[in-house]
Each structure stands twice: as structure tokens, then as C-alpha cells.
Amino acid sequence: MICRLTSSKSLLRSTLVGVLTIGIAVLTAAPAAGAWSTPVPPPTACGSGSLSVNSAGAWAIAGSISNGDGTSSVNVCTSSDGVNWSGPTTIGQGITPVLAVAPNGRIVAMWEWVSGVSSNVQASIRPVGGNWSTPVIVSTASTHPLISMDGSGNALGVLSRSDTLTLPVSTVNLPANSTTWTTPTTLVAQAGGVGMVTNSSGGAVIGWRTHANQIQAVSGTILGGVGAPASLGSTYGGVAPKVQVALNDAGAAVLGWFGNDFVKVAIRAADGTWGATTQLTGPSASGVGVAIDGVGNAIAAFGQTQQTGTPAYASLRPAGGSWGTPTLVSALNDQGKVAVGGDPAGTFVVIWTNNAGTIEALTIPPGGGFGPGTPVAAGPTVLLKVIPGLAVLWMGGFGAGISKETVN
């Protein structure tokens, strides 16, 4: 256990919480701090793109590495513990790779291939105990892929661009017992800022921002397709940051997004019905993350830019209840860059970057409340992932790497 009661950050926090804006709750009693492992960087040649780990402890990283001639290779490394890595194995040429590891260990990777003004999306499969397949073209569109799997190993790919609102969003899927991708299905003609999630039973939720500045979401299944879009609210200005969405195995979901002066969240009941949108904060919002546990308890966390910095706030919503008043979980002069993860048992993890450039992590056990964060390591966040029994934090920068924490 790491104790921080006498640290300068704790003293600063206790000094500053008295000047919070009225309507924002202050830090409450702390749960026990988690014990994060010393970060271990994966081999540089593995790259820094996508990470997946299954419940059996099979890890995989996909990264794009420059070849020095204007092209890039897609490399994959694998591990059984997140510390010792094999590879890299070059599986294709391209950028923006993503991957997912099935419960049985099969790995599916997707990436964008670019050559001059031409591009497409390609994919490769590594069966259990086998080798990576020859890449196949999944889509001829100029898009960045996302990928997720269910508990049977069925894969859903979402094809979009996060840097524009003028291109379509489409989906492809790959059944667990197949090596053939479906033909892309267009969900919306012009959108961006796409976020997607699947659950163990094959449910799927995909959210985006339309060209007309509306936040929409579709619900369905990996293999069965999705229904008509539901409009959840509006946003404005520039290309939207990615919509954040989480889904539990019962079918309940939470979706969050932010604009320059608000953070908004919406809850979807297990029957697929979206509730009214809730605005959690007013001016100067910066980032948002959401998570939901197996019984429907949800969390949203966000940064809010102030004169002192961009501190992190978080709000809890009990299943069937209402969102609580946002609580300050960092010092007022921290840098924001908030992310959230959670597991079915009810563990939530909130991370942010403090004023010294170090990532802090607040682990909230099932039924617990807010407390101080634990410093993990310096460097930008690459990824936060929470699966049953394990929280994983991947940090970039010199001396950083992958840190793990046992949860539940």
C-alpha cells in the first residue's frame, strides 16, 4: 500500500479544496490505494498503438514503426505476463493498427494501408498456435479502424476517421470460426469522433458525432447488425474528440462526450432505451471518460480547465439512480488528461496527469468512494484497460511503460 498523507500533493490538495466553485463536491474519504507495479517498457520495435489482454493472461501489442523510406511496418508483440515480450513480428505495412485477443488466444489485427493518395484497411489473423495470415483488404475507404471482440471471439470492426466529420462510418465483422470478413455496412454518411464497445455476449454500442453536430448512438450485436441511430444531444465546434462509451454484459450502457463548455452523459437501460442526457459540468470542460459495472453502477470523470490548472473531477451514478455532484479527485493545479476504466465486479479506475507530468491513478473498489490518487509514472497515457482482476496502464515517454494492478 502506498501512503500519501504527508506528501506535498496531499498538502496542496487540502489547502486548495476550500476555494472550489459552489456546486462541486470536495474529496471524500479515501479507499485503500492500489499497488501498481513498476512500469516495464515493451521493446521499442513493438511500437505504441494498441494493446489487448484476455482473461487468461494473453497479451498482444500492435504498433506502427517507420521504415525510414516514407513507409511504415505494422509490428505485433505478444506476452503471457505483460513484462516479457516475444517478437516483434511484422504482419503488414501501414499505420493506426488495432488488435483484439479472443478468450481462446486467437488474435485479430486491423490497420490502415497508405500509399500516396491511395489507402485501404487491411487485416490479419493469428490462430491459436499458428502464424499470422496474409493481409486481406477489408475496406477500400480511407479510414482508421477500431476493433472489439465478444466472449466467443466474434470480432467487430468500425471504420471511420477521427479527424473529419465528412466521411462515413461503417462496420465489418468476423465470426469466431471464420477467416472471411463481411462487406462493410455504412451506418452514417458523415460523422466522426467514433467510439465503440462490445460485451461478452456479443452486444455492441457505437457512438459518433454527425456532420450536423449531433451525438448519436446505435445498438445491436456483433453478428446481427445494429438498429437505427438514437440522437442523444448536441455539440459544436471543430472535429469532435472520440465519444466515450461503456457497456456491461446485461446490456446497460453509458455514453459521454464533451464540448468546450460542457460534459454530458447518457445512460442506456438493459432493454436498449436511452434516458435523458445529464450535463455534469459547465464552462471549460476538458476530456471525459466513462465506465459501467455489471449491475449498472456508472462513473464519469473529466477535466475542467481553471486558472490554477486542469483538475480532474468524477461523478458516480448508482444503478437506477442519478448522477452525483462531481467530486474533485486531483489537486487544482494538475493537468487533466483524464481516462476511466472499470470491470463487471464494480472496480473503477480514474487516471489523470498531475502538475509534475506524472500519471496518477485512483482505484475505487466495488462500493467504494473517492480518495487520493497514487503516482504511477511520468509520461503521456497510451492506454488504460481494466479487465476482471487486473488494471493495466500503458504510458509512453522515456522510462515509462506498462504497469499493472491487481483488483477485486
Query: Using one digit for the tens of pLDDT, what is the confidence trace for 71-125?
Result: 899 999 999 999 999 989 999 999 999 999 999 999 999 999 987 667 899 999 9
235 pLDDT tier (thresholds 50, 70, 90) = confident
pLDDT given for residue 128 in this prediction: 95
What is the residue-averaged pLDDT of the chain?
88
Range from 6-20, 66-80, 141-155, 216-230 carrying the lowest mean pLDDT: 6-20
Lay out the sheet containing 85-93: strands in order across.
50-53, 59-66, 72-79, 85-93
Q: At 315, which helix (H) or strand (E)?
A: strand 312-317
Contacts of 110-119 with CB under 8 Å at 24 or more apart are 110/138, 110/145, 110/147, 110/157, 111/62, 111/64, 111/74, 111/145, 112/142, 112/143, 112/144, 112/145, 113/137, 115/71
C-alpha angle 110/112/115, rounded to 5°?
145
Share of the chain above pLDDT 70, in %: 88
Question: Percent helix, strand, coil in the chain (nearest 5)?
Answer: 5, 50, 45
C-alpha cell at 231: 440522437
pLDDT given for residue 119 in this prediction: 86
pLDDT given for residue 86 in this prediction: 94
- Gyration radius (Cα) of the chain, Å: 20
Q: Rounded distance, CA 365 to CA 326, Å?
A: 18
165 pLDDT tier (thresholds 50, 70, 90) = confident
Burial class from Cβ neighbours inside 10 Å (0-12, 13-18, 19+) for residue 245 reads buried
DSSP state of 404: E
At residue 398, does pLDDT exceed 50? Answer: yes
Which carries the bigger pLDDT value, residue 239 or residue 76?
76
Q: Rounded distance, CA 67 to CA 402, Å?
A: 25
pLDDT tens digit sequence for 270-309: 999 999 999 998 777 888 999 999 999 999 999 999 999 9
pLDDT given for residue 33 in this prediction: 41
Q: Rounded distance, CA 348 to CA 342, Å?
A: 4
pLDDT given for residue 260 in this prediction: 73
C-alpha cell at 196: 465503440
Nearest to 267, CA basis, from 315, 226, 210 = 315
Which carries the bigger pLDDT value, residue 19 or residue 363?
363
Task: Give the predicted TM-score (pTM) of the model.
Answer: 0.90
pLDDT given for residue 354 in this prediction: 95
Q: Rounded distance, CA 122 to CA 174, Å?
A: 13
Under DSSP, is residue 322 helix (H, G, I), strand (E, B) or coil? coil
At residue 29, does pLDDT exceed 70? Answer: no
Q: Is 191 in contact with 171 (CB distance < 8 Å)?
A: no
Q: Is 220 in contact with 230 (CB distance < 8 Å)?
A: no
Which carries the bigger pLDDT value, residue 352 or residue 5?
352
pLDDT given for residue 81 in this prediction: 95
Tell me the backbone φ, ψ of residue 17, rounded to 5 degrees: -65, -20
User: Computed from CA positions of residues 327, 329, 333, 334, in that sequence, does the dihedral angle turn out positive or negative?
Assistant: negative
Query: What ranges make up the beta strands (E) of 82-240?
Result: 85-93, 95-101, 107-115, 118-126, 136-139, 144-149, 155-160, 167-174, 185-198, 203-210, 214-221, 225-226, 230-234
DSSP state of 46: G
pLDDT tens digit sequence for 304-319: 999 999 999 999 999 9
399 pLDDT tier (thresholds 50, 70, 90) = low
C-alpha cell at 369: 468512494
Q: How far is CA 173 from the centre of its chain?
A: 20
Q: Rounded distance, CA 358 to CA 335, Å?
A: 9
pLDDT given for residue 317 in this prediction: 98
C-alpha cell at 377: 509514472
Q: Rounded distance, CA 372 to CA 72, Å?
A: 41
Q: What is the largest CA-CA distance in the chain?
A: 60
Residue 293's contacts (CB-CB under 8 Å, 6 or more residues apart) are: 248, 342, 343, 344, 345, 346, 347, 348, 366
Lay out the sheet containing 336-342: strands in order across.
336-342, 348-353, 358-364, 374-378
pLDDT given for residue 259 in this prediction: 81
pLDDT given for residue 8 in this prediction: 35
Under DSSP, is residue 33 helix (H, G, I), strand (E, B) or coil? coil
At residue 42, does pLDDT exceed 60? Answer: yes
